[in-house]
Amino acid sequence: ETGVTQTPRHLVMGMTNKKSLKCEQHLGHNAMYWYKQSAKKPLELMFVYNFKEQTENNSVPSRFSPECPNSSHLFLHLHTLQPEDSALYLCASSQDSGDPYNEQFFGPGTRLTVL
């Protein structure tokens, strides 16, 4: 595997379910990001991790819980979601989050549908 991978690619869940999204980067980067891409809104940054430490939480509801066990893996744990949370969830990585010149590399996304 190369670049940034995300699993699953598609997920359908009920509002009472608990599920997790997984992101893995094979680029040796130290920063990882979660974005939400909704049909009617611009891409929104959700969380930033730099060297496994969370450095940004963009006022995301607590029903979204990120986890970064190491610099290569990032999870987004989901519970009691709402239908309006249906979106494409994109993961990205960069060398580190402190240098604005570092390019972010994106994964293919997980298409989430909440019923």
- CA quadruple 15, 13, 56, 37: dihedral positive or negative? negative
Per CB under 8 A, the segment of 17-25, 64-72, 75-83, 92-100 that binds other proteins is: 92-100
**Per CB under 8 A, does 8 bind other proteins?**
no
- CA quadruple 36, 26, 105, 56: dihedral positive or negative? positive
Nearest residue (CB) to other proteins, 35 versus 64? 35
Structure tokens at 30: 């130290």
Binding site for other proteins (CB under 8 A): 3-4, 31, 41-45, 48, 50, 55-56, 90, 94, 96-104, 106-109
